[in-house]
Amino acid sequence: MKKIVDYKNKKVLVLGLAKSGFSAAKLLHDLGALVTVNDGKPFEENPEAQDLLTLGIKVITGSHPIELLDEDFSLVVKNPGIPYTQPLVKKAVEKKIPILTEVELAYQVSDAPIIGITGTNGKTTTTTMIGQVLNAGMSKGTARLSGNIGYPASSVAQEAVSEDYLVMELSSFQLMGIETFHPAIAVITNLYEAHLDYHGSREEYVAAKWQIQKNMTSQDAIVLNWNQQELQELAKTTKARVVPFSTQEVVAGAYELDGQLYFKDEIILPVAELGVPGKHNIENALAAIAVAKLSGIDNQSIAEALRTFSGVPHRTQYVGKINDVRFFNDSKATNILATEMALGGFEHEKLILLAGGLDRGNGFEELIPSLKGIKAIVLFGETKYKLEDAAKQAGIPIIRLTDNVETAVPLAFELSIPGDTILLSPANASWDQYPNFEVRGERYIEAMKALK
């Protein structure tokens, strides 16, 4: 870790704790900053705040008093989830106090080069895939996962050495709070409309994502999804070397052609040998191949790592087989697009889909083309009747309605024969019945295991 002196004796406000805020506060304290932490959770319910207090860090919990900014803070380090419309943040902007996120701190102290991954869909899978592929072929050092994937970047950066890589998943929220952050390699998996409640418009959302290349130079490389015209246009505005990937055409990077995955003119492995199904995972694998080749990893190591990659929990995750019926957990598919992508990886005439969840007021007409040819569908949650209409229009011959994921699994299994696949890919958020998509996916796995 670089022992920087930039923050010594400077007053810094850490706004919002959780994992990243806790890590940032500790790091800044170790770097000699005069840290004040402000978190909305009451002190008695806030173990992170209690731990920081024992270190001698000033802690204010339970609310976000505007008068906090009467102190002469040099910097605010903001939890990414706190919007810029929050009154304390707005006041800091008015006072022209710099507002960063903890990935900026991670960059400043890291001895290891950073590989930054962002995009709308596929970030976590691609980040995990890249880590596995690099670790398969690195002769020394370790590819360390960090960032939005659940490991605070500023914690991992303190442990990393120069032979390592920080493989960092980055949200648009995190990228809005950077100044000098500079990855050696950046990846944008794709760009779709998302988080408009936070960003206000698609343009602002895309601009936040494009921040990833803000400080990159011609010595760096940015890996872009060439299937998207929007990214082709953005590519004209970066100083970094552009390395495209595509499932639709031959490009000067990674691509799919005749059932094979290539990097430039080298075959890496057949699509059929990928450890995870789905068109979206072909794109994720191509991005990982591009990063691996840029990092000097040999083709054999790349191919073996992609063959053995079994997915990320709740993201088209293979969870087992009963009586030769395969079960996949794609609970992370909280929108129509994610389910469309997942469905593209399965043989429809042997597929039983489980879907449904929170009703956000939308219809499912867009999903109908992707539902055609599916053997059966089992629907649950608030949207089950809307999805039933879509399934009927798609001509699915067997449609069943039930209460929840737990009851959907045995019902789907009754409809299956050996050789079939049962896929949970809800196309909806989980909050009508479950606290998050992870719990929904875990209940699916538990129900599958109960069948045994």
Annotated binding site: 119-125
Per the rule left: phi > 0, alpha: psi between -120 and 50, beta: everything else, 40 is: alpha
Full DSSP string of 174-187: HHTT-SS---SEEE
SS3 content of the chain, % helix, strand, coil (to 5): 40, 20, 40
Q: Do strands 351-355 and 325-329 pair parallel, antiparallel, or not at all (unpaired)?
A: unpaired
Placement of tokens 């991954």 in the chain: 117
Spell out the residues 6+ positions from residue 259 whose beta carbon is closer than 8 angstroms to its own. 270, 271, 272
Distances (CA, A) of 268 to 146, 182, 271, 306: 27, 29, 9, 10
Q: What is the DSSP string of 228-267?
A: -HHHHHHHTT-SSEEEEEESSS--SSEEEETTEEEETTEE
Q: Which two tokens mark 235?
A: 């590519």
Helix (H, G, I), strand (E, B) or coil at 320: strand
Q: Which residues are catalytic?
A: 123, 148, 195
- Separation between Cα atoms, residue 285 and residue 120, nearest integer Å: 16
Strands 11-15 and 75-78: parallel
3-state SS, residue 87: helix
